[in-house]
Amino acid sequence: MKQKQSLMVMGILTLVLLAVYFLPLITFVKHILVLTLFYAFLGTGWNLMCGYAGRLSLGHAAFVAVGAYTSLLLFREFNLTPWIGMLAGGVFAVLVMLLIAYPSFRFGLKGPYFTLASIAVAEIVHNLLVYGRDITGGSLGMSLPYVPTSLAMFQFDGKEPYYLVILAFWLAAVFLTLKMERTRYYLEAIREDQDAAAALGISVNNNLIIAACISAFLVAIGGTFYVQYFRYIDPYSIAGFTLSLNMALVVVIGGSGTIFGPTIGAFILIPLTEVLRMTLGSQLPGLHLFLYGVLLVACIIFLPKGIASLPAIIKARQVKKTARVTQGSEGVL
Amino acid sequence: MLLQIIASGLLLGGIYALVSIGLNLIFGVIKIVNLAHGDFLMMGMYATFFLYTLKDINPYAATLIVFPAFVLIGVLIFRLIIKPLLGKAETEVNTIIATAGLGFVLQNLALMLWKSDFRAIETNLTGKSYEFGGIMLSSGRTWAFVVCVVVALILYYILMKTKIGTHVRAVSQDTDAAILMGINVNRIYTLTFAVGIALVGLAGCIITPTFYVYPTVGLYFNTMAFIIVVLGGLGSFTGALIGGLLIGLVESFAGVIASAELAQVFSLLIFLIILFVKPEGIMGKGARV
């Protein structure tokens, strides 16, 4: 998609999502919408490093956790507003990312090795959060002290304000991805052929590290949103493998390395999971996740490039068809 | 005390090594990350559990049923899920995601069928241990260690001394050259995947007497298995054995000195350092991938 087209799609999407805000929806639907945008936001952050540069991370929950715990601890201990805590968490996540990204890219970790390293990092953060129970509350987790609706303290009683906040976050992330046009091309070049990219004068490591840091920063901000919205975190749910995997799935199913892929993926997967959970979860525990898993595997097999590639596939089919038709007519002639 | 910690660490390492042999084979030959590895272990454990409680079949005898059954499952999974994904630009990412999805399916299948209860079997080995000069060795784990060594030796023999083993090694080293030499790569892949899955099923049988069975037991072993495979070096069974023993020792020591969580952090840090410094593993010979 061209830059202008993408900007237009972004504008239209934002307007539609803003219009949705004024619809009289039931709480459950509102919750699904917030959750969907939350994952669309995380996915957009994840996509920046993992989609464009093709370095599959299954440990991004580590940075969500760093962001969440930083802002929550700053709020609990020093009564610091999560708006500032959020930025602190983002910076902290970037530092953690640098600690890992620098050696990873410096030593040229690629493919499955990079993925395994990312899983290890998330496991380390998870274990440290459980171990530091005096500060983090260990595996029991920590809750957010209640404050009546206050914009300054990033706490609201209804779901609607959270919807607006996450919509703004999502918009910012998509806009940032759009604006990084040059870096995106560099990253794609690095993904396709690292040596060729380097030969063309692209600084491979610098671009990868920039992408990784922005990715970690965005995802960490998502962590703060998670705390403020759910008012409770524990290492298992916020630093666990499931969150890392979900972030990746949203992007891969939607279309990794595309601007709107993560958003498309989130809008399909998250409502689907929530509705499955709602309708089947109480009947037989595990059934909804079982179906979810089956759908995922089927999706990967039949649409390996994600749903964003669907128009291109259909177009290719049509071209093939017309080609066959013209060939056929030539044959007659 | 020191000897006791070392002995326990070695036995634990033997179990880790046993669990990771199948993964090593699949990772080493097909070059795909099977994130559902631990979940196949879980399935093997459940199979053993039910064979024991319902049919009164000893866990060690159960291997004779589980191994062939898992070969079939492996062939089926390979045909259905892995094969359609191979040989494309996105193979690496997509096989990881697809096997993660498969793990999801298996875990929740277990949850649906057998609930999230922790289950354990009591065999004539449960709670028993052998004593060697004041060192207590858990009977179940000692046998697991023995099985691990035997399996590694058999596999080593097959890979090094038989024709089919040579084919597998050829495919592992250079797929294109192997195709040119007339090796049916697809058949080798199917075989490797099936045997890899069957080996982890077998590991499930062997560890059931000493571990609880529950739907997410695979997650714990999954991380460990990957650490060991990378530590030891792809396709290197001696490496896997050494990697397993090393991690077992680290966990055993760190568990005594600090805590279980820190023990895992230590193993993971060692893993990361090896990954950065010597990604081909302690015993690996190959170039960086």
Q: Which of B77, B96, B247, B274 to mutate to test the interface with A (most CBs of A within 10 A)?
A: B96
Instruction: Let me know how long chain B is.
Output: 289
Q: Which residues contact A294 (CB under 8 A, 6 or more apart)?
A: B101, B105
Q: Which residue of A has its CA nearest to B88?
A: A304
pLDDT value at residue A331: 46
**Position A333 confidence tier, pLDDT thresholds 50, 70, 90:** very low
Question: Is B225 or A111 the better-scoring residue by pLDDT?
Answer: B225
Residue B102 burial class via C-beta count within 10 angstroms: exposed 0-12, middle 13-18, buried 19 and up:
buried
The Cα–Cα gap between B32 and B84 comes to: 13
**What values do phi and psi take at B135, rounded to 5?**
-100, 130
Query: Which among A104, A285, A289 has the least Cβ separation from residue B104?
Result: A289
**Position A68 confidence tier, pLDDT thresholds 50, 70, 90:** very high
pLDDT in tens, A30-46: 999 999 999 999 999 99
| Chain A residues near residue B98 by CB distance under 8 angstroms | 296-297, 300-301
> Touching check for A289 and chain B: CB below 8 Å?
yes
Mean pLDDT per 10-residue segment, chain B (289 residues):
82 86 87 90 94 89 92 94 84 86 91 87 76 78 86 87 88 85 89 93 89 87 85 74 84 80 85 81 52
3-state secondary structure at position B116: coil
> Touching check for A6 and chain B: CB below 8 Å?
no
**Position A287 confidence tier, pLDDT thresholds 50, 70, 90:** confident
Q: Which long-range contacts (CB under 8 A, 24 or more apart) does B110-115 make?
A: B110/A286, B110/B42, B110/B43, B110/B46, B110/B215, B111/A285, B111/A286, B111/A289, B111/B215, B112/A284, B112/A285, B112/A286, B112/A287, B112/A290, B114/B46, B114/B215, B115/A285
| Chain A residues near residue B271 by CB distance under 8 angstroms | 116, 120
Quote the minimal CA–CA distance from B108 to chain A in Å.
Answer: 5
B133's enclosing H/E stretch is none
> Touching check for A284 and chain B: CB below 8 Å?
yes
Q: Which residue of B has its CA nearest to A297?
A: B98
3-state secondary structure at position B162: coil
The Cα–Cα gap between A311 and A162 comes to: 33
Worst-scoring range by mean pLDDT, A80-94, A244-258, B71-85, B223-237? B223-237
Geometric angle at alpha carbon A219, from A216 and A221, rounded to 5°: 110
Confidence check: pLDDT of A329 > 60 = no
Q: Looking at chain A from residue 237 to 276, which residues have their Cβ under 8 Å from any Cβ of chain B? A: 241, 245, 248-249, 252, 256
Q: Which residue of B has its CA nearest to A282?
A: B112
Q: Is the dihedral of CA A303, A305, A311, A313 positive or negative?
A: negative
Q: What residue type is assigned to position A254 of the chain?
A: G
State the pairing for strand pair A232-233/B129-132: unpaired
Q: Which long-range contacts (CB under 8 A, 24 or more apart) does A3-10 make?
A: A3/A178, A3/A181, A6/A178, A6/A259, A6/A260, A7/A178, A9/A260, A10/A171, A10/A174, A10/A175, A10/A178, A10/A259
Residue B124 burial class via C-beta count within 10 angstroms: exposed 0-12, middle 13-18, buried 19 and up:
exposed
Q: Which of A290, A299, A300 to mutate to test the interface with B (most CBs of B within 10 A)?
A: A300
Cut 0.90: pTM above it: no
